[in-house]
Amino acid sequence: MQYPSLAALGLWAASGCPVTQRPGQTSTAQGEPLTLFLGGDVMTGRGIDQVLPHPSKPHLHEPYVQSALDYVRLAEAANGPIPRPVDFSYIWGDALEELRRTAPDLRLVNLETSITTSDDWASGKGIHYRMNPANVLCITAARIDCCVLANNHVLDLGRAGLAQTLQTLRKAKLKTAGAAGDLASAQNPAVMEIPGKGRVLVFAFGATTSGIPEDWAANDDHGGVVLLPDLGEETVSRIARRVAALKRPRDVVVASIHWGDNWGYEVPRDHRDFAHNLIDQAAVDILHGHSSHHPKGIEVYKGKPILYGCGDFLNDYEGIGGYEEFRSHLVLMYLPTIESSSGNLLRFHMKPFEIKRFRLHRASTQDAEWSRGVLDRESAALGAQVSLGADNTLALKW
């Protein structure tokens, strides 16, 4: 993620609905339905790391804040005391019960932090996210299956930090995609077998438009992220060849992409074209886009869901001012259900939450309606609508 340049500290605060079919459309479901939990950016470094049982050294290399503890103090000034240390499941709050209730077959998030004890701060960056490896249990507490790493914080503590991140996640039995010790390994998808339903393949990519430095790209000599050179036809063709070499019948392919600006609802034309081309030419079934700090519009193209920007799911932004109109503390859990035999979308539910005191709380009906209204407005131009159910479940219609 990129961050706004804060000119002064004055900018900081002082203190279940059924799928709707198209007219005339009949159900073609043949395979077992497969439900995924797709999360946006999960940022467990910095302030969140400080309240977990094994905080890193709090020193930061930021222009306005020199200690990660300052983010804890800002959050407490805004919303009240945060107990310390919290247990590893604390940050997920009410989301854990929702995950138990919906029982998704696969849980996927964009993990946006380096998990390391390294002090090799990436030069030229104003923001660094680091979590102590001993705190990785906060990820496994939510039974996450796969962490996407092709983002602009995974190398915040250098390539040594990336190596320790990968080692830590591997020891925790978490799959990763989008970053590795060399280009070939980074390009390999995370492959997860869902008993009786097939496999899910997660390919992950990053774009410089999200703030990823060009020299973070993996190559044959050193580790890094899978960095897209552009969104053109040749890039699509290369991805298509990799997918074709691995995809089997009943496989669901996810393309997870860290791209675009942090703020604003516009979906660039080249993002739409790239997403459509990945579906048309690379047999991608789900596009999982992230980098925006707030949810963006959703499209269903030829039966395949496209999330252009999931927004954050966990962060330490409480008490920071400057973009209040986006209400980025209101976040969404995305729960698409896919027909395993075709990869087509059957239904798409979302659950709204609020981040408060570094913890996810069920959103109020008023806040859920606000989220519905924004998502409905932004999805309308993409051919979709969003309704609100009695239990504050949002449902996508297309």
pLDDT at 30: 53
Look up residue 110 and give its DSSP letter: E
Radius of gyration for the alpha carbons in the chain, expressed in angstroms and rounded:
20
**Cα distance between residue 46 and residue 127, in whole Å:** 10
Detail the DSSP E strand segments found in 84-222. Answer: 106-111, 114-115, 130-131, 146-148, 175-177, 179-180, 190-194, 198-206
pLDDT at 377: 98
Counting every residue written for the chain, the total comes to 398
**Which spans in the chain are helix H?**
47-51, 69-79, 95-102, 137-140, 158-171, 183-187, 233-246, 269-282, 365-380
Q: Which residues have C-beta within 8 Å of that of residue 7, sequence separation ≥ 6?
A: none
Topology, domain 30-397? Purple Acid Phosphatase; chain A, domain 2 (3.60.21)
**Cα distance between residue 322 and residue 335, in whole Å:** 30
What is the CB-side half-sphere exposure of residue 32 using CA atoms within 13 A? 12
| pLDDT tens per residue across span 369-388 | 999 999 999 999 999 999 99
| pLDDT tens per residue across span 265-292 | 999 999 999 999 999 999 999 999 999 9
Q: Which amino acid, 289?
A: G
Q: Which amino acid, 201?
A: L
pLDDT at 6: 31
Kindly give the parts of the chain with pLDDT less than 70.
1-30
The residue behind tokens 């240390």 is 85
> Both tokens of residue 382?
């993409």
pLDDT at 390: 86
pLDDT at 370: 98
